[in-house]
Structure formats: C-alpha cells, structure tokens
Chain A
Amino acid sequence: MNDDGLELVVERRLRERFRADAESWDPEPTARAVMRRVHGQRRTPANGRSLARMVAGGMVAIALIGLVGTASLLAPSSVAPAAPAPPAAEASQGTEICYTGQYIPVESPDPHELDALIEAAGGPERWVTKKMYAGSTEGAARAFGGTLGEPTSSQYETIYIETARGIDSVALRRFESAAGVPVWISSHHTKAGPCRPGPTNTPRPTLDPHGPRPSMSFELYTHCGLDRSLIRFDGSYWKALDGPSGPLEDPFDQGTMTLLSQDRAEFQSDTGTTVLLQRLAARPSFVPCR
C-alpha cells in the first residue's frame, strides 16, 4: 500500500474511533456533575448587559507609578521570598494611578499552572510573577501598598490605595488556582515607569491626514463621570469636550478610541455612544470618587 493509501486507512481508523468514543459517552451524568459544581460557585447574576460587557471587556489597566523615586509597586522581583509591604508613609507619597485603557487577556490562566507558579515561588502570600500576587485579599492589598476596598463585582475586585491626594483605586482580577489559592492579576500591559504625557515619554505620532486613523480597543472609566476620570491615550491625558452622545456603561465602558488628529480623539462605545476628546498638555487635576 502506498503512503496515501496508508494515510487514508489511518485517517479512517481515527475517525471511526473518535465517532465511537463520542457516541459512547452519556452527557447527562457529567452535565449534572458540572452543574452541581457550578451551583456551588454561582456567579453574581449579571446586572443586565452591564456585567457581561464589563467583564467581557476585561479589566482596566492600572499603572502605579512612584513619583518621588519610589520603586514601582507593580514590578516586584519575579519570585520574591515574601510580599514586600511598602512602609505606609512611602506608599502614600504621590502614588499615581494611570488608566491606560488596556485590558488583560480574557482567557483565564490554567489553575494547575497557577499552582505550579505558586509552588515555584515558595507558597502563597507573595508575588508569583511580576503581575500575579497569590494569597489573601488583604495580602494583595498590602502588596499594592493599599487598603482593601469593596468588591465591585464577582469577577474582579477593587483594592483601594491611599495616596497623598485621597483615595484611588486599583482593579485586580481574581482567579483561583486548582488548589483554591486566590491569585490577583493586574494587566499585562501595566508598565513600570513614568506615566506622564510628553515627548520624552511617548513621542506623538505624525498623523497622515489621508492615512488610516490609529485606533485601539479602549475601556473608558466612567464611574465618577468623565470629568473625574483620568483618560490616558496615545501618551497623553485627554478631557471630554462635550458630554457623551448617549448612555455609557458604569463603571467602565468598552469601545474603541480613535485618534482623529493630533489633538482630537473620539471614543466610540460598542453600543454606539461617542465621546469627543481633546488632548491635554499636562496631567489634569483629579478628584477621585469612591
């Protein structure tokens, strides 16, 4: 038999085996077992479309930047022996939170892999990678130099951080290892380093008026109102020129940010609402809300 013929035989046998396997399983017992487990960890029912969209959009990315020579809180050593809780005074000095509009990958990490990371790091209550803290909510809050806030949803929780200016918040998404250890993950786009607008940080692109307009998926923080949120995009802060053209989701709205010109951008929500934005030369004053 030539190679092609042999391959056909192999293929046929594989297909038959797969079909026989598929037909031999009764889905009901497994479905019942799965649903029993699912009921044991019921998610908070969605608040209409809002929760699903909010979670589907991932989470807001946060960059914590020490302005006064403080080491980045989001870049601990990858396998630290213990969660380094920064001294309270140091942690509260000028910590800036920057909403980058990025989000973490929607796919969950594998729980067994999380256990392997935790094991490699020497146990929970410590950083297991640069972006993952494994352990209690209190430990995670301490690791981020903050105090624990109220959960905002069943999918991700917010840790509030005391700063010199008041209270800012950090959203961390909670996962769980196969062994049941909570793991807190910040955005993979979160960067350590200055988060201030300006040519030394992010050079402005030269826009070709006839070329395609740069755009990116963007999660707009809306909870405190557009005039009370730090909107950061394309290396600058932005302010809304007018109110939104329609309703926006709360606390975040997922959509697309498009650079219209050097100084204008438009956020278009997935629901169609638009917000016209103007580039600012400097970081605006920011009055956070709870």
Chain B
Amino acid sequence: MTGVESLVVRAQQGDDDAFARLIVMHFAKASATASMILGDPAAADDVVQEAMVQAWRSLPGLRDPQRFEAWLRRLVVNRCLNHRRAARRLDHAVGRLRPALSSPGPERGVTDRDELGRALRRLSLEQRAILALRYGQDLTGVGIADALRISPGAARSRLHAAVTALRAALAAEDELSRSDAVQEAT
C-alpha cells in the first residue's frame, strides 16, 4: 500500500490529520484545474473547498483507495461544472427580484488576465475542463473520460474539438488585439 493509499484508509476511518495531508498533496492540481475551468481564482478556491468538504463526507464510500486522485478529480470537475449552473440559477433569481438592475454576471465580473485567458473564456466549460485535464493533469483519453463520465472515444473527439475551438478563439483574440492597436494608432 502506498503512502497516499494509507492516508486515504486512515482518513476513511476518521483521521482528519491524514485527510489534511491529502488536501495539501492534491490541492495544487485541483486548484489549477478549477481555475482553468472557471477562469476565476476566487470561484476556483470556493469550488475546491466545497469539493474537499464533500470528499471528507463521501470518503468512506470510496471502495478503492488507489482511486482517490481520480475520484477527487471527478468531484472537483463536477463541482466546477455545477458551480456555473448554480451561478446561472442565482443570476436568474436575482434578475427576477431586481429586474431594474443589470447584473454583470459571473463571466464578466472577472478580470481577463491575458489573451489565453480570454480565449479560454470563449470556450464552453466542458471544453475548458477537457483542456485542463489533458494539458494540466496530463491525462489521456481514458482519464478524461473517467473524470467527465463519458466514453474514451467521446473524450478523444471532444478533446480534438476543444483544441480546435481554442485555436479559433486565440485567432479571434489576436484579430481583436490587432484592430484595437490600429484604432489606438489612428
């Protein structure tokens, strides 16, 4: 049994020190993944916290300690995808309560950091998740499929579509930057 598996088993039995160590070990990847999907560090931190708390609650149900990382990854990705749905529902509710006020929405409330960030924001959440899993966590089609609960074939085709979409988004951002530069020059 590896060190991580041993920690998982101890955490399953209620050892919160072991769980704290698991959090620290897996935090960086989880946070970077959430950040790439949501494009908002604060929201990513919230989501990771929620996922970690859910992990604590649900950990006794994890049958195979070897699967902990994949299981946690799935929790985080699922949380990210649901986070935006919940935000949309909240926006809708707020919009109904305060129709006179225009809500900027979670997307526009976040500062765009760079061209890549802006391009990523043109993609769907699932496309961002696929890119984060492939290029951030170095997962293959099977790993992506597991995290998103889709077939490996679907994962591969969606990865291809996500890369294509990102290239198009980068090209669009590039075009936008050029036209801004021309306008500033004139």
Contact B12 A56 (CB under 8 A): yes
Spot the interface stretch: B94-102, B130-138, B177-185: B130-138
Contact B52 A52 (CB under 8 A): no
B147 CB–A CB distance under 8 Å: no
Bound: A52/B10 CA distance, A: 10
Question: Chain A residues with Cβ under 8 A from B58's Cβ?
Answer: 106-108
A242 CB–B CB distance under 8 Å: no
| Cβ < 8 Å to A, chain B residues 1-47 | 9, 12-14, 16, 19-20, 23-24, 27-29, 31-33, 35-36, 45
A98 → B minimal CB distance (Å): 23
Bound: A27/B30 CA distance, A: 10
Spot the interface stretch: A3-11, A74-82, A157-165: A3-11
Question: Chain A residues with Cβ under 8 A from B86's Cβ?
Answer: 112, 178
Question: Chain A residues with Cβ under 8 A from B142's Cβ?
Answer: none
Question: Chain A residues with Cβ under 8 A from B45's Cβ?
Answer: 25, 30
Contact B60 A22 (CB under 8 A): no
Question: Chain A residues with Cβ under 8 A from B163's Cβ?
Answer: 7, 10
Question: Chain B residues with Cβ under 8 A from A37's Cβ?
Answer: 49, 53
A182 CB–B CB distance under 8 Å: no
| Cβ < 8 Å to A, chain B residues 134-168 | 135-137, 163, 166-167
B78 CB–A CB distance under 8 Å: yes
A21, A31, A42: the one within 8 Å of B36 (CB): A21
A146 → B minimal CB distance (Å): 25
Q: List 22 A-B contacts (CB under 8 A).
A: A14-B131, A14-B136, A17-B36, A21-B31, A21-B32, A27-B27, A30-B23, A30-B48, A35-B19, A35-B23, A41-B53, A41-B57, A43-B14, A43-B56, A43-B57, A46-B14, A55-B60, A107-B61, A107-B71, A107-B74, A112-B86, A155-B60
